[in-house]
């Protein structure tokens, strides 16, 4: 499994893009940075997008991708997959015909560029050689992370935005993760604020890891707010946890 980091920042600024992770050129997890990173040819390779939650920094690339496809030479369909709540939010607030055209019925009702597919937490979906399952996490709005397993039982889990989430790890049980991509948005001094807004700090991530039956082989941190990058980096290093580090935009992880 090859995961390309299109964006791993908790806010957008020159040089730092919002959450998007591309698996094997075809499966996208969240659509923060998308059309501003991938060229047209690579955009057309995207077959489906799994969305963790409906916050703008995780869905903003969807409308632009749809427009590029409709005016592209090879027109194709992209599946947008998420929980029933997230699909409702995207339909109601993003592709609503007011904020942006409804590309689920363009060019016509039977051949929409985008297809919204509901996937309930705990329900698995097969995509190519992968089994992908959403697990609920604790955020200010309904949100999930995605567990991805290949046929050789190699696994990674991408949390999306999450605060402390006891239930998530319990439900995943004793599945050993080769890779965990988990968020840290704020430094330790902002713990109260982080909990209130459904996010983690370096100390909170340590607590989350202690709740897991098996510690993941490698842990990558995403969604850092750029203005706090320096203290987060220092505090992550101080945790002294092996194989844990911050992600960088543009890098590729092999699982
Ligand atoms: Zn969020
Ligand atoms: Zn976010």
Task: For residue 225, report the distance from its CA to the centre of ligand 2, in Å.
Answer: 9
Q: Give the other-Cβ count within 10 Å of 50's Cβ.
A: 27
Which phi and psi (to 5°) does residue 44 adopt?
Answer: -70, -15
> What is the three-class DSSP state of 247?
coil
CB 166 within 8 A of CB 136: no
Residue 40 C-alpha to ligand 1 middle, in angstroms? Answer: 27
CA of 107 to the centre of ligand 1 (A): 31
**pTM given for the model:** 0.97
Ligand lying closest to the C-alpha of residue 198:
1
Question: E strands along the chain, which residues?
Answer: 2-7, 20-23, 27-29, 48-50, 78-82, 114-118, 125-127, 130-137, 143-149, 155-158, 179-183, 218-222, 244-246, 252-254
How many angstroms does the Cα of residue 8 sit away from the middle of ligand 2?
A: 9
pLDDT tens string for the chain (255 positions)?
999 999 999 999 888 999 999 999 999 999 999 999 999 999 999 999 999 999 999 999 999 999 999 887 776 899 999 999 999 999 999 999 999 999 999 988 888 999 999 999 999 999 999 999 999 999 999 999 999 999 999 999 999 999 999 899 999 888 899 999 999 999 999 999 999 999 999 999 999 999 998 999 999 999 999 999 999 999 999 999 999 999 999 999 999
Give me the sign of the Cα torsion angle 231, 235, 236, 237: positive
Q: How far is the CA of 226 from the centre of ligand 2 (A)?
A: 12
181 CA distance to ligand 2 middle (Å): 14
Nearest CA-CA partner of 22 in 97, 78, 76, 85: 78
CA of 145 to the centre of ligand 1 (A): 12
Q: Nearest bound ligand to CA 89? A: 1
Contact call for residues 190 and 201 (beta carbons, < 8 A): yes
């Amino acid at each position: 499994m090859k995961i390309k980091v299109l964006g791993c920042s908790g806010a957008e600024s020159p040089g730092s893009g919002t959450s998007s992770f591309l698996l094997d050129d075809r499966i996208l997890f969240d659509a923060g940075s998308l059309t501003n990173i991938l060229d047209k040819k690579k955009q057309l390779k995207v077959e489906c997008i799994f969305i963790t939650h409906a916050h703008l920094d995780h869905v903003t690339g969807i409308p632009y991708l749809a427009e590029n496809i409709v005016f592209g030479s090879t027109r194709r369909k992209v599946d947008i997959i998420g929980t029933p709540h997230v699909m409702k939010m995207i339909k109601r607030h993003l592709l609503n015909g007011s904020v942006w055209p409804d590309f689920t019925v363009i060019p016509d009702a039977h051949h929409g560029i985008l297809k919204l597919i509901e996937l309930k937490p705990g329900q698995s979906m097969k995509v190519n050689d992968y089994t992908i399952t959403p697990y609920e996490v604790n955020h200010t709005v309904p949100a999930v992370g995605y567990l991805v397993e290949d046929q050789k039982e190699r696994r990674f889990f991408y949390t999306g935005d999450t605060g402390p989430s006891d239930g998530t790890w319990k439900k995943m049980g004793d599945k050993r993760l080769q890779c965990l991509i988990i968020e840290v948005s704020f430094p330790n001094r902002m713990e109260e604020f982080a909990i209130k807004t459904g996010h983690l700090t370096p100390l909170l991530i340590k607590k989350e890891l202690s709740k897991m039956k098996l510690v993941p082989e490698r842990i990558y941190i995403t969604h850092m707010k750029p203005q706090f990058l320096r203290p987060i980096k220092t505090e992550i290093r101080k945790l002294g946890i092996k194989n844990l580090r911050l992600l960088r935009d543009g890098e590729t992880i092999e699982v």
